[in-house]
Chains A and B, each alone.
Chain A
Amino acid sequence: MRRTLYWIGENAILLALAVMFVSPIVFVALTSLMSSNQTLTAALWPQPFEWSNYATVFTQAPLLRWFANSATYAVLATVFMLLSSVPAAYVLAKIKFRFANVIFTAIIIAMLLPPQVTAIPIYVMWSNLGLTGTLWPLILPNLLGDAFSIFLLRQFFLTIPSEYADAARIDGNGEVGVLTRVMVPMAKPGIAATGIFMFFHSWNDYFGPLLYTSENADAWPVAYGLASFRGIHGTDWGLTMAMTILVTVPVVLIFFFAQRVFVEGITLTGVKG
């Protein structure tokens, strides 16, 4: 009896919380279908449904261009990051050598410190190269690895038993062979998860584009464009909410396609001691 009461209580709390968690998305979706006049009233239900808001957004802002910029940024950053971080993570996880701990600790610190600590000299560097106003300062550094990704990939490589690597070495493979023929195939889920993290991180980035692309609207990624949209188009909340939904949809779609890999990635971030 007491158990049943507990069960009912817990599920009631969960249900109430779930409603509160879902309702913002519902309200945003409903508002995205309201006319601009209606968004200034107390109404919660669109009357009539203004489906044209979604088409209007595309005419009011260079949305396709912003999407293309975001895609360029996120895809290139992810590919570059994987090319450089996977080998580094493998070495740090599977090969014993002097300074391994020093390097790993340096990576942890680089990962944990706020990016604003180093932003100024890096900005000066890109400015001297004449690349501010473009997305390159956000993309190119990934060719040289990303601390968070190296850390995460290392965690994945550590879960692969070293015997596989040893066997491959005995069979005559060099380290590059061990990495490409054994470790990468076995760590595929981890690599995919890290890649998705990087993709989302770039897609959602606001500070980077603010620093490097704010002067050039042609180079804005979509999340950044959304922040400006509200200022440029005043109080039209219907359009703003339609755009908010449009910015969110790609991320949610990717999540649902890659759900298993993604959750596994998150789970391993919290790997316990």
Chain B
Amino acid sequence: MSSTTTTAGQPVPAGRPAPPRPPRPPAGRLRASRSRRRRTLTVLALLAPALLGLAIFFVYPLIASVYYSFTRYDLVSAPEWIGLRNYEYLFTQDPKVWISTLNTLWFVVFLVPIKIIFALGIAGLLVRAKRASGVWRTVFYLPALVPPVASVVAFVFLFNPGTGPVNQILGFFGIQGPLWFNDPAWSKPSLVILGIWVMGDIMIIFLAALLDVPREQYEAASLDGANGLQQLRYVTFPSITPVLMFAVITGVIAALQYFTEAAVASGVANGKAVVGEGTGAALGYPGNSLLTYTQWLYVRGFSNYQLGYASALAVLLFVVASIFLIVLLRRFKAFTPEGTS
């Protein structure tokens, strides 16, 4: 994504109001210029809340996390320096760090591409729909509006092995449905199905990008004798690459921090409250299959109050997420703050 974007070619939604004329200054007293210093102060003042916020809620906690990660800390007594022992335990003894990492990577590898492919496919169908396009768009976008907790609760019910409508319908066709959220082998795929259902947010962005591809390019390509697939390859794909990269990067980052859907699905499928004492116990059900890395961090930090150790997990997450980010950003230079256009 770029910042210095030209918005030429950006589909301007119909009915966007024309830019109003700048209002006249009061009493026409023109001052040629203000002092440089005053301007600097104004800029600083306007930026102050954001800079302060960045310092308090990002820079400081990042540094503090690194410090805590070398300590034993339970929130009650002061942090006690223990050197690398948290990391040693993390890499050699922690019983669940490996399974939670694998679960998280599973979502990165499967959830992200499947969701993007579906979103792109549906956007591709919708871009050609001439009739009732508004209705189609609403239908496919609507699920993205459902609050995540609500959609998870709904899906656990719909995929209830015994009484849920999904297995009822499968049974109608003579198919014995799986146990879905109650089977470790099916719990993650069940969440991928949920992920497909809520793909509307990316789909809308893809749709905008596809509508933005100049028609003339297709005409030129077909005059040159390009068939449908070649047009896709040489016309459509290059022009939506920046948006695709936006979807990949935000998707990977979201998958690395996958928490809400997995945590709520575990709790609801387990029939346990996902709050208060014993929260940690319900997480991961069934059989640790839904225990993601960030949930494990939550359990160690906020359920067991091992804040020092949880900080070590946080630092590792920071390192891994940063590596993912750098690789993805390098790979796709189009997605830079400075932009390329």
In angstroms, how far is the closest chain B Cβ from the Cβ of A80? 9
Name the CB-closest residue of B to A108.
B337
A186 contacts which chain B residues (CB < 8 A)? 19-20
User: By DSSP majority rule, is chain A's interface helix, strand, loop, or mixed?
Assistant: helix
Q: Evaluate contact between A214 and B276: CB separation under 8 angstroms.
A: yes
A268 contacts which chain B residues (CB < 8 A)? 10
Q: Evaluate contact between A226 and B259: CB separation under 8 angstroms.
A: no
A40 contacts which chain B residues (CB < 8 A)? 163
Q: Evaluate contact between B50 and A230: CB separation under 8 angstroms.
A: no
In the complex, what distance in Å separates the CA atom of A244 from the CA atom of B279? Answer: 21
Residues in A99-113 with C-beta less than 8 Å from chain B: 101, 103-110, 112-113
A182 contacts chain B at the CB level, 8 A cutoff: yes
Q: Evaluate contact between A266 and B205: CB separation under 8 angstroms.
A: yes
The residue that A214 contacts in the complex, of B43, B52, B279, B341, with Cβ under 8 A, is: B279
Interface string of B31-61 (1 = CB under 8 A from A): 1001000011011001101111110111111
A73 contacts chain B at the CB level, 8 A cutoff: no
In the complex, what distance in Å separates the CA atom of A224 from the CA atom of B317? Answer: 25
A269 contacts chain B at the CB level, 8 A cutoff: yes
The residue that B317 contacts in the complex, of A10, A106, A116, A211, with Cβ under 8 A, is: A116
Q: Evaluate contact between A171 and B24: CB separation under 8 angstroms.
A: yes
Q: Evaluate contact between B16 and A24: CB separation under 8 angstroms.
A: no
In the complex, what distance in Å separates the CA atom of A146 from the CA atom of B202? Answer: 21
Name the CB-closest residue of A to B252.
A112
The residue that A182 contacts in the complex, of B23, B58, B147, with Cβ under 8 A, is: B23
Total A residues in contact with B, Cβ cutoff 8 Å: 124
Name the CB-closest residue of A to B49.
A84
B304 contacts which chain A residues (CB < 8 A)? none
The residue that A122 contacts in the complex, of B34, B61, B274, with Cβ under 8 A, is: B61
How many interface residues does chain B have, given as a range?
Answer: 35 or more
In angstroms, how far is the closest chain A Cβ from the Cβ of B229? 14
A174 contacts which chain B residues (CB < 8 A)? 34, 42
In angstroms, how far is the closest chain B Cβ from the Cβ of A180? 10
**Contacts between the two chains (Cβ within 8 Å), count:** 357
B11 contacts which chain A residues (CB < 8 A)? 267
Q: Evaluate contact between B257 and A116: CB separation under 8 angstroms.
A: yes
Q: Evaluate contact between B3 and A158: CB separation under 8 angstroms.
A: yes
A97 contacts which chain B residues (CB < 8 A)? 40, 43
Residues in B263-304 with C-beta less than 8 Å from chain A: 263-264, 267-268, 271-276, 279, 282, 294, 297-298, 301-302
Q: Evaluate contact between A251 and B147: CB separation under 8 angstroms.
A: yes
Q: Evaluate contact between B65 and A117: CB separation under 8 angstroms.
A: yes
Residues in A152-180 with C-beta less than 8 Å from chain B: 154-155, 158-161, 164, 167-168, 170-177, 179
In angstroms, how far is the closest chain A Cβ from the Cβ of B130? 9
Q: Evaluate contact between A231 and B3: CB separation under 8 angstroms.
A: no
B334 contacts chain A at the CB level, 8 A cutoff: yes
A125 contacts which chain B residues (CB < 8 A)? 61
Q: Evaluate contact between A263 and B204: CB separation under 8 angstroms.
A: yes
The residue that A110 contacts in the complex, of B34, B58, B143, with Cβ under 8 A, is: B58
Interface string of B142-153 (1 = CB under 8 A from A): 110111111001
> Given contacts A105-B337, A144-B56, is CB(A227)–CB(B13) below 8 Å?
no
Q: Evaluate contact between A227 and B205: CB separation under 8 angstroms.
A: no
A154 contacts which chain B residues (CB < 8 A)? 3
In angstroms, how far is the closest chain A Cβ from the Cβ of B266? 11
Q: Evaluate contact between A255 and B145: CB separation under 8 angstroms.
A: yes
> Given contacts A103-B47, A118-B61, A121-B68, is CB(A224)–CB(B139) below 8 Å?
no
Name the CB-closest residue of B to A42.
B168
A39 contacts which chain B residues (CB < 8 A)? 163
Q: Evaluate contact between B157 and A237: CB separation under 8 angstroms.
A: yes
Q: Evaluate contact between A14 and B136: CB separation under 8 angstroms.
A: yes
Q: Evaluate contact between B47 and A91: CB separation under 8 angstroms.
A: yes
B242 contacts chain A at the CB level, 8 A cutoff: yes
Q: Evaluate contact between B30 and A172: CB separation under 8 angstroms.
A: yes
B125 contacts chain A at the CB level, 8 A cutoff: yes
In angstroms, how far is the closest chain B Cβ from the Cβ of A186? 5
Q: Evaluate contact between A120 and B140: CB separation under 8 angstroms.
A: no
In the complex, what distance in Å separates the CA atom of A57 from the CA atom of B278? Answer: 25
Q: Evaluate contact between A270 and B157: CB separation under 8 angstroms.
A: no
18 extra interface residue pairs, beta carbon distance < 8 Å, beyond A18-B136, A28-B158: A18-B139, A25-B143, A31-B157, A42-B168, A84-B50, A97-B43, A114-B317, A119-B297, A120-B310, A141-B56, A160-B19, A175-B42, A175-B46, A210-B275, A227-B268, A228-B276, A230-B153, A241-B154
- Across the A-B interface, give the 3 residue pairs with the lowest CB-CB distance, nearest first: A144-B53, A231-B273, A114-B257
Q: Which residues of B contact A (CB under 8 A)?
A: 1-5, 7, 9-11, 13, 15-17, 19-20, 22-25, 28-31, 34, 39-40, 42-43, 46-47, 49-54, 56-62, 64-65, 68, 75, 122, 125-126, 128-129, 136, 139-140, 142-143, 145-150, 153-155, 157-158, 160, 163, 165, 168, 197, 201, 204-206, 208-209, 212, 239-240, 242-243, 246, 249-250, 253, 256-257, 259-260, 263-264, 267-268, 271-276, 279, 282, 294, 297-298, 301-302, 307, 310-311, 314-315, 317-318, 321-322, 325, 334-335, 337-341
Q: Which residues of A contact B (CB under 8 A)?
A: 10-11, 13-14, 17-18, 21-25, 27-28, 31, 39-42, 44, 83-85, 87-88, 90-93, 95, 97, 101, 103-110, 112-125, 127, 141, 143-147, 150, 154-155, 158-161, 164, 167-168, 170-177, 179, 181-182, 185-186, 189, 200, 203-204, 206-207, 210-211, 214-215, 220, 223-224, 226-228, 230-232, 234-235, 237, 240-241, 244, 247-248, 251-252, 255, 260, 263-264, 266-273
